[in-house]
A and B are shown apart, each in its own frame.
Chain A
Amino acid sequence: MPQLLALLLLLFFRATSPASSQAASPQDQPLGNRAESVKLAVIGDSGTGAAPQFEVGRQMATARARFPFDTVIMLGDNLYGRQQPQDFVDKFERPYAGLLESGVMFYASLGNHDDPAGRYYKAFNMGGERYYAFSKKNVRFLALDSNLMDAKQLAWIEDTLKQSQDAWKICYFHHPLYSNAGRHGSEVELRVILEPIFVKYGVNVVLSGHDHVYERLKPQHGITYFVDGSSGQLRKGDLRQSESTAAAFDQDQTFMLIEIALDEMSFEAVSRTGRIVDSGVVYRRPKT
Chain B
Amino acid sequence: MRHHGISPHPHPHSNAHSHAVTLAHARRSSRTSTTASTATTAAFQFVIDRFLLLPIGVGIAIVWANTFAESYFRMSHALSFVVNEVGMAFFLALISQEVLEAVMPGGALHSWRRWGMPLVAAAGGLAGAALVYLAYVHVAYELMLSQAWPIACAIDVAAAYFVMKTIAPRSGALPFVLLLAIATDVVGLAIVAPRYESYFAPDSRPTGTVLFLIAIGIAALMRASRVRAFWPYLAIGGTVSWWAFYWVGLHPALALVPIVPFLPHEPRSVDLFADPPDDDATHRFEHEWNTLVQGILFCFGLVNGGVVFSAYGTGTWAVLTAAFVGRPAGILIAVGLAVAAGLHLPRRIGWRELIVIALATSSGFVFALFFATGVMPIGPLLAEIKIGALATAAGALLTVAAAWLLKVGKFAPPRHARPHVSSEVS
Contact = CB atoms under 8 A, between A and B. Distances in A.
A193 B77 contact: yes
Interface stretch (A29-37, A98-106, A184-192, A261-269): A184-192
B197 A185 contact: no
B204 to A, nearest CB: 16
B379 A147 contact: yes
Contacts of A59: none
Interface stretch (A20-28, A77-85, A120-128, A226-234): A77-85
A175 interface: yes
B77 A110 contact: no
Nearest to A182: B310
A249 to B, nearest CB: 21
Given A115-B143, A189-B73, A189-B308, 19 more contacts: A83-B143, A112-B142, A146-B379, A147-B379, A148-B376, A150-B197, A151-B197, A151-B199, A152-B197, A183-B310, A186-B69, A187-B380, A188-B69, A188-B70, A188-B73, A189-B76, A190-B379, A192-B70, A193-B77
A200 to B, nearest CB: 16
Nearest to B308: A188
Given A81-B141, A188-B73, A192-B73, A112 B380 contact: yes
Nearest to B77: A192
Interface in B389-412: none
Nearest to B78: A192
A113 B142 contact: yes
B381 interface: yes
A152 B69 CA distance: 25
Contacts of B73: 188-189, 192
For chain A, what secondary structure do more than half of its interface residues adopt (helix, strand, loop), or is it mixed?
loop
Given A113-B141, A147-B144, A150-B197, A192 B377 contact: no
A116 interface: yes
Most interface-central of A80, A117, A153, A192 (chain B CB within 10 A):
A192
Nearest to A175: B380
Contacts of A89: none
A198 to B, nearest CB: 15
Interface of A: 80-83, 110, 112-117, 146-153, 175, 183-193
A148 B383 contact: no
A190 B383 CA distance: 11
B380 A190 contact: yes
7 contacts: A110-B144, A146-B379, A147-B381, A148-B381, A188-B308, A189-B378, A192-B73
Interface in B67-82: 69-70, 73-74, 76-77
B105 interface: no
A149 B379 contact: yes
B5 interface: no
B153 to A, nearest CB: 20
Contacts of A82: 141
B10 interface: no
Contacts of B314: 112
A117 B146 CA distance: 12
Nearest to B378: A149
Interface in B340-394: 376-381, 383
Given A148-B377, A152-B197, A189 B141 contact: no
A151 to B, nearest CB: 6
B313 interface: yes
Most interface-central of A80, A82, A112, A115 (chain B CB within 10 A):
A112
